[in-house]
Structure 1
Amino acid sequence: MLSAVACFPLERHRLFETRDPDEARDRVGKVFCAHQLSYAGRGRRLFARQNFAQFGHLALSYLAYGEEMIIDAGEIENCYFVRLIRSGSSEIRIGKYQFVGNSRIGSVSSAKLPLSMRWSPDCAHLALKIDRRALERHLSDLLGSAILRPVEFIPELPVDTGRGASYRRLIEFISNELDCDDALMASPLAVAGLEQMLMTSLLTMQPSNYSAALSARVSPAAPRHVHRAEEYIRAHADRPITIGQLAEVAGVHTRTLFEGFQRFRGITPFAMLKAVRLERVHAELKTAGTSGCVSDIALKWGFAHLGRFAQLYRRRFGELPSETLRR
């Protein structure tokens, strides 16, 4: 191992140091995600180091390459990343967004959105990795309903003022604690508390495609007709349901019902029905055993197009229905 000449974040949790770009790509890929790594300029004096600490469904990593590098991760399937740039700068492309990150501008990358970066030679990241299923399950708990689409955050994260600065300090505090003492992370209750805090703060702080639904959740309570429709959907998800039936049960016109769901739940009544049925499929697959049949269970809950069903299921639960059945 190459000797370090300075102290870096998470130094007690050294993962590797290397001058070999192939080794760096493979080692980082094992704890982050598969990606392409290549030199951006003429320099070939890579000196990569990564420190990495896992806690619960989250992890913190310090990573630097010591050379101008291009990282292309493509679509990241199973995790979200919050990156603080400790030094240097990084040209970042996430989905349709492109910007330059530095000590004042961090980034949030989302599952299912392509990610590529060009790091300056002195660039170093302190990154928070969040398991996709954990974040989406937490979001579902906050909303009180299942979600159908992955979370898509606005990628730019200002970290020099406001709530972004508070989030940066929280990540740095945890990094320091990991370097000082293992007592905090040895407590399952403490780890669970940190997970909840980091995920809740990110979901409520950083704009995303669920911001409106989250805002509605903490605004005045949803009206009675929305609750009535929700209760009916949950109680009769195994039966054919029409918008007319829902409006009659709720005691309002269909337009009022749609407006109430959009404002207070961020989805349509039928999107909620689909989400509830998807949850019922998931529950059945977990208990069906080896005699279970994915197609039979999917059809039972109204998913006639099995290819589309498999895509929806994987987006929601991070695995194929057949994988849930095997487990």
Structure 2
Amino acid sequence: MPADRASASLRAVGRYLQAHLTIGPAMLAVGVNSPPGVPLARYTRVDTRDPGAAEAEVGRIFCAHRLTPTKSGAPYFRAVHNNAQHDGFSINYVAYGADVEIDPGRLDRFFLLQIPLIGGADVRCGSTTVEASLTHASLLSPTLPTLMRWREGTQKLIVLIDRHVVEQHAVCLLDRAIDKIEFDVDVAVETPVGAAMRAQALLMQALSERAGRSVERWSLAHRQLRDSLIGLMLAAQPHNHAAILARPASAAAPVHVRRAEDYLEAHAHEPLAASDIAEAAGVGLRTLQAGFRQFRDKTLTEAILEARLGRWRALLADPAQAQSAGELALTAGLIHHGRAAAAYRRRYGETPSDTRRSAQTRR
């Protein structure tokens, strides 16, 4: 989503919330403080003075990690995690009381926007370390290892966004497949972009608190807020694909490329020769290969693999499928299971078994 559209969407959602919720203009202003009291208090999931219990319980909400108080005895330790779950994201309030080190490694499944409300932290993500504070939030990417040290008394508002949701938005915006999105860690909240991202997180918090557990009634507003924040992240926060967005938009792919993609969608599981695809597209093979390179930034072979991986993912995600992951790979046209599994993890950020397990839990 371009920055101007993201900003327009942000303003529209703000007007929508003001019309439907008891939220005054001051609360929607950039740089507003949190509401009085503990944010998201009705959504408490963790409240414990036991570091071991906190590590396990917070790990079930976010991901497995190591939580270590840095001072002997940790007299001020009290872990509080309030968590409001929504479609493709959650809004969280987290505090530990004491000075703690948090080592989650790679987050894998989600992005985290962490906004200090009180205190600060040293946050290392990949090779970059930032000092998070009231003027600097942090944005953690799932493919980069993370290590944090929260100072005593630190409290954060944290937005978790599912990785696949962000990547789907990125694919639509970039008009090409991607393997990963990695953002700059530092979000300076006194800049226009950082202030807008912080304001968006506060809107998410406000809607969760005012709407309560009427999930269905407010689901559209929650999704609008989520998508506006993702639009801001992709359009204005530096990331590894930002240079592509800076280029002029390319012409739409010609009909023979789209025809080939439709053919792949329908026949990827079958034994395919490149010449078969070219014949279905109605052009010569060299023309088709050039079209994929120019308009899709990939080879025809890569397009075939991506189509088969997509079919495999759909099969794995179907709880009605009783076959193993390996058998479903063959059904999708993927003969070399080991190589296919490695390509699957690179593309989707999880293993085929992870997708299968998630599907089975929905049965």
> Which TM-score band (shorter chain)?
0.7 to 0.9
Q: Which residue pairs with 1:68 in the alignment?
A: 99
Letter in 1 for 2:157: L
Instruction: After TM superposition, list the pairs within 5 Å mapping 1:155-194 onto structure 2.
Output: 155-182=185-212, 185=215, 186-194=217-225
The Cα of 1:40 is off from its aligned counterpart by: 2.1
Q: Structure 1: state its 5+ residue gaps.
A: 1-5
Q: Within 2, Cα distance between the matches of 1:58 and 1:90?
A: 23
Match of 2:5 in 1: none
Partner of 1:313: 344
Superposition TM-score, scaled by structure 2 size: 0.73
> In the aligned structure 1, how far is the partner of 2:174 from the partner of 2:303?
12
Distance 1:284 1:56, change over 3 A: closer
What are the ranges of 5 or more consecutive residues in structure 2 without an aligned counterpart?
1-35
> Mapping of 1:259-278 within 5 angstroms?
259-262=294-297, 267-278=298-309
Q: Is the 8 A contact 2:125 2:144 kept in 1?
A: yes
Contact between 1:285 and 1:324, CA under 8 Å: does it hold in 2? no
Distance 2:318 2:211 in 1: 41
Q: Is 2:50 aligned against 1:15?
A: no
One-letter amino acid matched to 2:259: E
Task: Give the deviation of 1:184 after TM superposition.
Answer: 7.5
Question: Which stretch shifts more, 7-16 or 26-35?
Answer: 7-16
Q: Where do 1:1-327 residues align within 5 Å?
A: 7-42=37-72, 44-45=74-75, 46-144=77-175, 146-147=177-178, 149-182=179-212, 185=215, 186-214=217-245, 219-222=249-252, 224=254, 228-236=256-264, 237=268, 238=270, 239-241=272-274, 249=284, 258-262=293-297, 267-285=298-316, 290=321, 292=323, 294-295=325-326, 297-299=328-330, 303-314=334-345, 315-316=347-348, 318-320=350-352, 322-323=356-357
Once the two structures are overlaid, the 10-residue window that deviates more, 198-207 or 288-297, is 288-297
In structure 2, C-alpha distance between the alignment counterparts of 1:325 and 1:30, rounded to whole Å: 18
Q: CA deviation at 1:146?
A: 4.6
Distance 1:302 1:10, change over 3 A: same
Check conservation: 1:58, 1:195, Cα contact below 8 A. Answer: yes
Q: Verify the 8 A CA contact 2:108 2:349 in the aligned structure 1.
A: no
Give CA deviations for 1:64-118 in whole Å, capped at 9, x if unaligned: 1121110000122222111112222211111222222212221111223211101
User: Do the aligned partners of 1:43 and 1:68 also contact (CA within 8 Å) in 2?
Assistant: no
In the TM superposition, residue 144 of structure 1 has moved relative to its aligned partner by: 4.8
Summarize the Cα distance change of 1:184–1:158 in structure 2 as closer, same or farther, 3 Å threshold. farther
Q: Distance in 2 between matches of 1:184 and 1:324?
A: 25
The answer on whether the counterparts of 1:43 and 1:67 sit within 8 Å (CA) in structure 2 is no
- TM-superposed CA distance for 1:303, in Å, is 3.2
SS at structure 2 position matched to 1:280: helix
SS of equivalent to 1:271: helix
Q: Residue type of the partner of 2:260?
A: Y
DSSP 3-state at the match of 2:103: strand
Q: Secondary structure at the match of 1:221?
A: coil
**Aligned residue-pair number:** 314
Deviation at 1:58, TM superposition (A): 1.0
Distance 1:249 1:325, change over 3 A: farther
Report SS of the residue matched to 1:22.
helix
Please tell me whether the aligned partners of residues 204 and 222 of structure 2 are also in contact (alpha carbons under 8 angstroms): no
Give, in angstroms, the shift of residue 288 of structure 1: 9.7
Percent identity at matched positions?
27
Superposed CA RMSD in Å reads 3.4
Distance 1:41 1:268, change over 3 A: farther
